[in-house]
Structure 1
Amino acid sequence: MTIDAQHWVWNHSRTKGNPRMVLLAVADKVLDAQCETRMGTTEFIARLNTSRSVVQKAVDKALESGELVLVEAQQGSRAALYRLPFAVGYVRPAPGARGPESGPVAPEQGPGIEAPGSQQGPGIRAGSEMARGPESGPGGPGIEAPRGPESGPLNQTTPTRSESKPEGAPLADPIPANCRPLVDALTTAGVLVRWNLSTAEWFTIEALIKRTGVPALAAFAQKQATARDISYARYFLAGWKDLPPLPEPGATRPPLRAVSGGYQPWTNPADQSGYYDSL
């Protein structure tokens, strides 16, 4: 799986520079058919041999490209789980196989039918493993194999990003309906961040909304955004998790009574021995 995943990154990834190195680092560790592996920031720093800030920016760019997906966020000492979605099911070509970008295999031949290796006259050329690809050049008059798109191989098994949506089809809202109130609250407050989160992170935000409430989450994010430039909503997750939960239903604030030292929470005098004697 590792070699297949690396082959996909080398030959089909559209990333460049450090984001491409992030994909290669992940591909070097995948061992299952889902092209998933766990990696932490420290390991990324060691593999890319650069600073933490450069690694974080490169990982964010790789996630933004869609060629890297965060399946599970980091939890304590447990590293984050990443996936290469477009490398799932990809199998590198067999050694010696001639693909559509391999160029001509044999000198130009005449028209007709011809068995492999035959030196006889015209005929139809039988298909074989030495058959020309769609970009191999002119093969003389006769039946020509259909030409695929110039952007990739004819028999590509992994769907390309351009094929993910029919032309003219409306784009699906990537934000879950239960999380929309929080996104709208931040947008209205002028906190404009990118919400390219994984499914696991959306589940976490939905749980935080139920536990803490949209106003508290939005207020925390707005305060953080005024202190620094934040581009991704993922930045708020750690702080949101530390916020207190909503009060229990029916909970009320205890009444206050006047004492010499100021206002203190009211207590039942019957619970304090000697209370009336001290008055």
Structure 2
Amino acid sequence: MTIDAMHWVWTHSQAKGNARLVLLAVADKAPGPDAKARMGTTEFRARLNASRSVVQNAVDKALETGELVEAEPAIGSRPATYQLPFAVGYARPAPGARGPESGPVAEQQGPGIEAPNSEQGPGIRAGSENARGPESGPGGPGIEAPRGPESGPLNQTTPTRSESKQAGEPAPPVLGPEIPINCRPLVDTITAAGILVRWNLSTSEWFTVEALIKRTGVAALAAYAQKQASTRDVSYARYFLPGWRDLPPLPEPGTARPSLRAVPTTGWQPYTNPTDISAYSNGF
């Protein structure tokens, strides 16, 4: 499957640059027809010969194309499992045929009659012994039905569209990530505020976002995202996750907001000391 998956990347992938190298790295390690491979950042760095930041950006770009998905998130020291969804079950086309083994088919002149101008030389007869067509052709029994070269329209080696689909032709590209319904209010609120970020989160990250919505609320999460986006250029929603985790939870239901009491002023008078006042008076 490794060679088939790599063939799909070479011939069908639309990814470019380092993102294409990420797809090739996964395809090179994918052992089975499911086109899955467990790989971590360290292994990606070794295969791409690049820094951690370059590798992470390349993986993100590959995930954005939809040609790479995170089948299983990383847990502890176990790296994530990546999959090439369009290469699942893909089989590279078989090599084309080389044509007839004995050269062009001899000119037919009837059963048992040698073709004097045949390129195959004398002694080769165009009768039923050497015929490759049906036993009964248009000219009667023993006459071979004419057929074109093996590379012609009747024996083309290029797979048709239906054969190409059966061989694993990729489906149309996915139009953006699928956002869970429980996370839709947060995504819509942030988008309505003019913050356009990529929501290509993994399954485990979507679970985290859903838990944060229940704990902190859509309004607080959206306000934090708006504040962060006002001071810097944010391209990925993943950037907000660490700050969202540090926000306080919503108050418990029924909790009353305490009011601030004013300091009483009734009966208050400035401090006066007659002795001190007289001392100052006598001195000046």
The normalised TM-score by structure 1 is: 0.65
Q: Which residue does the alignment assign to 2:197? A: 193
Do structure 1's residue 230 and structure 2's residue 234 form an aligned pair? yes
Give, in angstroms, the shift of residue 216 of structure 1: 1.5
Deviation at 1:75, TM superposition (A): 5.0
Deviations 1:99-133 (A, max 9, x none): xxx3754477559xxxxxx97246259xxxxxxxx
**Residue 158 (structure 1) aligned to one of 168, 178, 182:** 168
Deviates further, 188-197 or 202-211 = 202-211
Consecutive unaligned residues in structure 1, runs of 5 or more = 112-117, 126-135, 166-170, 260-279
- 2:219 match: 215
Question: Which has the greater radius of gyration?
Answer: 2
Is 1:110–1:122's contact at 8 Å kept on the other side of the alignment? no
Q: Residue 106 and residue 19 in structure 1: after superposition, are their counterparts in 2 closer, same or farther (change >3 A)?
A: farther
Identity of aligned residues (%): 61
Q: Distance in 1 between matches of 2:58 and 2:176?
A: 27
Could you tell me which amino acid in structure 1 is paired with residue 133 of structure 2? G
Q: Distance in 1 between matches of 2:157 and 2:41?
A: 48
User: What is the 5 A alignment of 1:114-133?
Assistant: 120-121=130-131, 123-124=133-134
The answer (yes or no) to whether the contact 1:71–1:200 under 8 Å persists in 2 is no
Mapped to 1, the partners of 2:229 and 2:163 lie a distance apart of 45
Distance 1:146 1:175, change over 3 A: same
Look up the equivalent residue of 2:19 and give its one-letter code.
P
Measured against aligned partners, the alpha-carbon deviations of 1:224-261 in whole angstroms (never above 9, x if no partner) come to 222322222233233323333222222334566689xx
Could you tell me which of 143, 149, 152 is aligned with 1:138? 152
One-letter amino acid of the counterpart of residue 244, structure 1: P
- CA deviations on 1:34-93 (whole Å, 9 max, x unpaired) are 333333333322221112332222112211111101234445544333221122223456
How well do the aligned residues superpose, as a CA RMSD in angstroms? 3.9
Candidates 145, 160, 185, aligned match of 1:148? 160
Aligned residues of 2:67 and 2:85 also touching (Cα < 8 A):
yes
Question: What CA distance in whole angstroms lies between the structure 2 residues aligned with 1:66 and 1:231?
Answer: 17
CA deviation after TM superposition for structure 1 residue 183, in Å: 1.2
Q: Distance in 1 between matches of 2:28 and 2:222?
A: 39
Q: Give the C-alpha shift of residue 160 in structure 1.
A: 1.9
**Cα offset for 1:22?**
0.6
User: Which residue identity does 2:231 align to in structure 1?
Assistant: A
Structure 1's 244 and 52: CA in aligned 2 closer, same or farther, altered over 3 A?
Answer: same
User: Is the 1:212–1:244 contact (alpha carbons within 8 Å) kept by the matching residues of 2?
Assistant: yes
Q: Which residue of 2 aligns with 1:250?
A: 254
Shift of the 22–173 alpha-carbon distance from structure 1 to 2, 3 Å rule, reads closer
Q: Are the counterparts in 2 of residues 72 and 201 from structure 1 also a CA contact under 8 Å? A: no
- What secondary structure does 1:70 align onto? strand
| Whole-angstrom distance in 2 between the partners of 1:155 and 1:110 | 34
The residue that corresponds to 1:176 in the other structure is 180
2-side partners of 1:237 and 1:80: how far apart? 19
Amino acid aligned to 1:175: I
* CA contact 1:33–1:89 (8 Å) conserved in 2: yes
Partner in structure 1 of residue 64 of structure 2: 64
Structure 2 counterpart of 1:123, one-letter code: G
Aligned residues: 229
Q: Provide Cα deviations, 1:194-215, integer angstroms capped at 9, x if missing partner.
A: 2233444333322221222111
Task: Out of 63-72 and 32-41, give the one that drifted further.
Answer: 32-41
Range that drifts further, 214-223 or 200-209: 200-209
**Runs of at least 5 residues in structure 2 that lack an aligned partner in the other structure:** 107-127, 136-149, 264-284
Superposed structure 1 runs of 4+ greater than 6 Å apart: 142-147
Task: State the distance in 1 between where 2:170 and 2:219 align.
Answer: 40
